[in-house]
A and B are shown apart, each in its own frame.
With several copies, the nearest count.
Chain A
Amino acid sequence: MTYEVETPVFSGPFDLLLHLILQDEVDLYEISLGGIIDSYIQEIQRMEDVNLAVATEFLLIAATLIELKSRRLLPDTSDLDLEEELALWEERDLLLARLLECKTFKDASHVLKTLTLDAALSYPRLSGMEDQFIGLLPDLLEGVSGEDLHEAFLRATAPKPELDLFHVTSVKLTVAETVEYLIEELPQMGRVTLRELTSAAVDRVEVVVYFLSVLELYKQGVIDLTQIATFGTLTIEWLGVDTETGLLGIDAYEG
C-alpha cells in the first residue's frame, strides 16, 4: 500500500489540475489525459464536505477534461461538426489561459512568502515614547467609534490562517465524525487530557480537528475543561449527554 507522506493540499480546481499536469512535466509526451481525469475525479471524491460552489468548479473542469478525452473514443474525428470542434478548442484554450494565470500568481505568491519570512526576522521598535511625551498627546480616541473598536477586537481575535483549514483539504477526519467518536469514547475514559487524546495524531490538522471537536462538546455542555496552570495540561472531563434532547446542531465543519 502506498502511503502519501505529504498529502498535497489543493486550494482549488486549477491548483489541482496544475499539480496533476505539472507533476509529470518531465514526461511531457507521456501525459495521458485519461490519467489526469482519473486522478482529478478521485480527488473530487476524496473531498467529502466540500461546499457547493467549490464542487461545481471542480466538476465543471472535470467535464471539460472528459469532453477532451471523449474525442478519442470517436471512431473518426473527421466526421466531427466543425463548429463543435472549434467550441471545444475554445473551451480548452480558455482553461489553458486560466491555468497559466493561476500558475503566474501561484509563483508570485511564493515570492511574497519569502519576503514575508525575511521581513519577519526584523522586529520594529514599538515601545513608543517616553512618559513625559505621552501626556502631550491630544485625545487619542478622536474619531474612534464603537464600530472601530468592534473591528479591532475581531482583528485581534481573528483565527490565524496558518491552519489552512478554510479551503479544500484532504482531511480524512471530520469534526462531526470526531465528535461522534468522542461521545462514544469519553464516557469510558473519564478524565483525559487533550494530549492523550491526540497522541496518535499524525498531523497537526488532526490535532486541530480534535481540538474543534472538544470545543464543540464543551459548547454543548457535555464535557468540562480544566487546566491548573497556564499553558499546563488541558483536562477533559465527561459530564454526560441529556439523552432526551441529545446533541443539537453540531456545526458542519467543512474540511
Chain B
Amino acid sequence: MDNLQEYKKAIEAVILVSDNPVEPTLLAQLLEIPMTEVEQICIALAEEYAQQERGFVLANVAGGYRFQTDPDMAPYVERFVLEGQGSRLSSAALETLAIIAYKQPISRMQVSAIRGVNVEAVIRTLLQRGYIGEVGKDTGPGSASLFGTTPLFLERLGLSALTDLPPLADFVPDADVVEALEGGLRPEGFEDRATMMTAESKGETRNDDYL
C-alpha cells in the first residue's frame, strides 16, 4: 500500500470515530503530513463518495471534517432518529443571530438598537443553545459582554467558516424598497410639494417598476 492510500484510510478511520468535526491541522499532526495534503485528500474522498453515490458525504463544517448523511436520504434517516437536530429557530431568534453573525463581536445593547427591541431573552436562548457565546468585554464603561457565534452555529448552518456566509452587501435593500420606505415616511405636508416637483420622473418610475 502506498502512502497516499494509507493516509486516506487513516483519515477515514479517524473521522469516523470522532463525534466532532475533525480539524485538518489535527489530521496533519497525526499523519505527519502538511495540512494542504490533508485537505487535498479530504476533497478527493468527498468526490469519491459523491461519484460512487454513497449514502454519506464527507462534509467540511465548523472548520473540520465529518461524515454525515446525504441530504437526499433524510426521509429514511428521520424515521430513525428521535428528533431532527434542529428544532427551528423563531424569526426573532434568527434575526438576532444574523445581526450577531455579521456584526460580531457585538454587545447586547448594540443588537437591541438594531432590532428596536429588548433582546435579553432571545440572547439568553441563543446562549443556552450554544449558537452564540461571550467572546469578550467591551472596553467602554460598564464593560458589557460582547457576543459572537460559535462553531456549533457553523455546524447548524452547514458552513465551514464565517467567511462562507453570503456577504451582507447582498441583503442591502434594493432601490425600490428604499424608495418605498422613503415615501412611507415623508411628512405629508411636504409630500405634496415633493410630488409636484418631481411628478414627471415619478410617473416614469412607477410605470417601469410597479406595473
Residue numbers of A with Cβ under 8 A of B are 9, 11-15, 18, 20-22, 24-29, 31-34, 36, 51, 53-54, 57, 61, 65, 68-69, 71-74, 77, 88-89, 92, 95-96, 98-113, 115-142, 144-150, 152-168, 193-195, 198-199, 201, 204, 207-208, 211-212, 215, 219, 225-227, 229-234, 251, 253-255
Q: Let me know if B86 and A123 touch, CB within 8 A.
A: no
The residue on B at minimum CB distance from A101 is B114
Instruction: State the Cβ distance, A173 to closest chain B Cβ, in Å.
Output: 13
**Does B3 count as interface, using CB distance less than 8 angstroms?**
no
Residues of the A chain whose Cβ atoms lie less than 8 Å from the Cβ of B118? 51, 53-54
Q: Let me know if A126 and B185 touch, CB within 8 A.
A: no
Instruction: State the Cβ distance, B108 to closest chain A Cβ, in Å.
Output: 12
Instruction: State the Cβ distance, A225 to closest chain B Cβ, in Å.
Output: 6
Q: Let me know if A158 and B157 touch, CB within 8 A.
A: no
A91 to B109, CA, bound (A): 20
Q: List residues 155-211 of chain B with CB under 8 A from any CB of chain A.
A: 155-159, 164-166, 168, 171-173, 176-191, 193, 195-198, 200-203, 205-207, 209-211
Q: Let me know if B99 and A153 touch, CB within 8 A.
A: yes
* Interface membership of chain B positions 34-58, coded 1 if the CB is closer than 8 angstroms to chain A and 0 otherwise: 0000000000000000000000110
Q: Point out the residue from A9, A121, A215 that lies within 8 Å of B202, measured CB to CB.
A: A215
Residues of the A chain whose Cβ atoms lie less than 8 Å from the Cβ of B94? 109-110, 112-113, 144, 148-149, 152
Q: Point out the residue from A34, A109, A144 that lies within 8 Å of B156, measured CB to CB.
A: A144
Residues of the A chain whose Cβ atoms lie less than 8 Å from the Cβ of B96? 156
Q: Point out the residue from B74, B172, B196 that lies within 8 Å of A163, measured CB to CB.
A: B196
The residue on A at minimum CB distance from B87 is A160
Kindly list 9 other residue pairs between chains A and B, CB separation below 8 angstroms, not including A11-B117, A15-B116, A128-B125.
Answer: A12-B92, A98-B116, A125-B68, A133-B77, A136-B81, A140-B93, A149-B94, A157-B99, A160-B201
Q: Let me know if A31 and B117 touch, CB within 8 A.
A: no
**Does B137 count as interface, using CB distance less than 8 angstroms?**
no
Q: Let me know if A124 and B68 touch, CB within 8 A.
A: yes
Q: Let me know if B190 and A146 touch, CB within 8 A.
A: no
Q: Let me know if A100 and B178 touch, CB within 8 A.
A: yes
**Does B8 count as interface, using CB distance less than 8 angstroms?**
no
Residues of the A chain whose Cβ atoms lie less than 8 Å from the Cβ of B203? 157
A110 to B131, CA, bound (A): 17
Q: Point out the residue from B86, B129, B173, B197 that lies within 8 Å of A119, measured CB to CB.
A: B86
Instruction: State the Cβ distance, B46 to closest chain A Cβ, in Å.
Output: 13
Q: Let me know if A121 and B98 touch, CB within 8 A.
A: no
Q: Let me know if A207 and B190 touch, CB within 8 A.
A: yes
**Does B5 count as interface, using CB distance less than 8 angstroms?**
no
Q: Point out the residue from A71, A167, A234, A255 that lies within 8 Å of B180, measured CB to CB.
A: A234
- Of the A-B pairs whose beta carbons lie under 8 Å apart in the complex, a sample of 22, sorted by A's number, is A22-B180, A65-B185, A72-B187, A95-B185, A98-B114, A104-B171, A120-B85, A123-B77, A126-B92, A130-B17, A134-B125, A142-B156, A156-B98, A158-B129, A162-B89, A162-B90, A162-B193, A163-B196, A166-B90, A167-B121, A193-B184, A231-B186
A18 to B16, CA, bound (A): 45
Q: Let me know if A167 and B193 touch, CB within 8 A.
A: no
Residue numbers of B with Cβ under 8 A of A are 13, 16-20, 56-57, 59, 61, 66-71, 74, 77-78, 81-82, 84-99, 101-102, 109, 113-118, 121-122, 124-125, 128-131, 153, 155-159, 164-166, 168, 171-173, 176-191, 193, 195-198, 200-203, 205-207, 209-211
Q: Point out the residue from B97, B177, B179, B188 that lies within 8 Å of A72, measured CB to CB.
A: B188
Q: Let me know if B157 and A230 touch, CB within 8 A.
A: no
Q: Point out the residue from B125, B181, B187 that lies within 8 Å of A22, measured CB to CB.
A: B181
Task: Across the A-B interface, give the 6 residue pairs with the lowest CB-CB distance, nearest first.
Answer: A234-B184, A119-B158, A21-B184, A160-B196, A121-B71, A129-B17
The residue on B at minimum CB distance from A89 is B187
Q: Let me know if B183 and A12 touch, CB within 8 A.
A: no
* Given known A113-B89, A119-B156, contact A159–B206 (CB-CB < 8 A): yes
Instruction: State the Cβ distance, B122 to closest chain A Cβ, in Å.
Output: 6
Residues of the A chain whose Cβ atoms lie less than 8 Å from the Cβ of B187? 33, 68-69, 71-72, 88-89, 92, 194-195, 198-199, 201, 207
A90 to B34, CA, bound (A): 57
The residue on B at minimum CB distance from A95 is B185
Q: Let me know if A161 and B125 touch, CB within 8 A.
A: yes
